[in-house]
Amino acid sequence: MAGSSTDLRALERKKTDEKQILVAQDLISRDAKALGLIQGVVSDEIFPRIANQETAKDAWDVLKQEFKGDAQVMVVKLQGICKDFEYARMKNSEYLFDYLARLFALVNKMKMFGETLPNKRLVEKMLISLTPVYDNIVSVIEGTKKLDEIDPNEVVATLKGFEQRLKRHTEDEEVSDKAFSSHSIQNKNGSQTTGYKGKKPLKFRDKKGDFKANDRPQYATKPWFKGW
């Protein structure tokens, strides 16, 4: 009887240990997911500061220390970020993906300081800060959509689709230009050789004898008029 009770207690302890192991594994998994989410939403400039943190709490503490501080410091930093957002413009040499990544990094920084932009304000900012290449698609969006109702992600998808079409048109034009240039060169080379292949250079005859093309003619040694 005593042996049975001992075995029962051992079995219960084993089950308890297994439950604790499962709970610990679940906590580790959840913490890893939280850490991954934190690392995924920060900008490329901030990521190196939390890249070596092993838990979500450690990463969050670093971010709080970096972006919080006292109220006055927070206000100053937020004003700087808002200013960068207002003056942000797409460069002529910049890809759409790079510009939007730079713009949304500023938006995320503003959120970390407690400033959340309305969707309408973000959409307006995207549309007015693009290069003139996107004027046509911007006009279409403004003419067919209500800016206070459209989702920013929908605008991003529309702009990316337009950029892909621009790239295809550019590539097609480059291929056409290369083909035209190659055809022109072939025609030019062919016209240079036409009529000469397999034939000897022409010869001219003079009273004093034959001479080859490009040789200077033999003029008389004495002038043909008086007073030379």
In a domain, 29, yes or no: yes
In a domain, 57, yes or no: yes
pLDDT category at 220 given cuts 50, 70, 90 is very low
Give the whole-angstrom CA distance, residue 164 versus residue 166.
5
In a domain, 25, yes or no: yes
For the cut 60, the answer to whether the pLDDT of residue 60 exceeds it is yes
CA distances from 12 to 4, 7, 8, 18, 107 (A): 12, 9, 6, 10, 53
- Higher per-residue pLDDT: 180 or 208: 180
pTM: 0.51
User: How many structural domains does the chain have?
Assistant: 1
Which residue shows structure tokens 């200013």? 83
Angle at 129 between CA 126 and CA 133, to 5 degrees: 100
Name the percent of the chain lying above pLDDT 90.
Answer: 34
Give the whole-angstrom CA distance, residue 2 versus residue 62.
56
Q: Residues 138, 127: contact at Cβ < 8 Å?
A: yes
In a domain, 213, yes or no: no
Of 78, 21, 27, the closest CA to residue 57 belongs to 27
In a domain, 167, yes or no: no
Give the whole-angstrom CA distance, residue 167 versus residue 216.
59
In a domain, 225, yes or no: no
User: What are the two backbone dihedrals, phi and then psi, of residue 20, each rounded to the nearest 5 degrees?
Assistant: -65, -40
Q: Which domain holds residue 40?
A: 19-66
List, as own/partner pairs, every contact residues 27-31 make where C-beta atoms lie below 8 angstroms and the sequence separation is at least 24, other chains included: 31/55, 31/56, 31/57
In a domain, 39, yes or no: yes
For the cut 60, the answer to whether the pLDDT of residue 76 exceeds it is yes
Q: Write down the pLDDT at residue 2.
A: 52
Enumerate the β-bridge partners of residue 55.
Answer: none
Q: Residues 59, 50: contact at Cβ < 8 Å?
A: yes
Tokens of 39: 């690392």
Mean pLDDT rounded to a whole number for the chain:
78
Give the whole-angstrom CA distance, residue 99 versus residue 91.
8
In a domain, 59, yes or no: yes
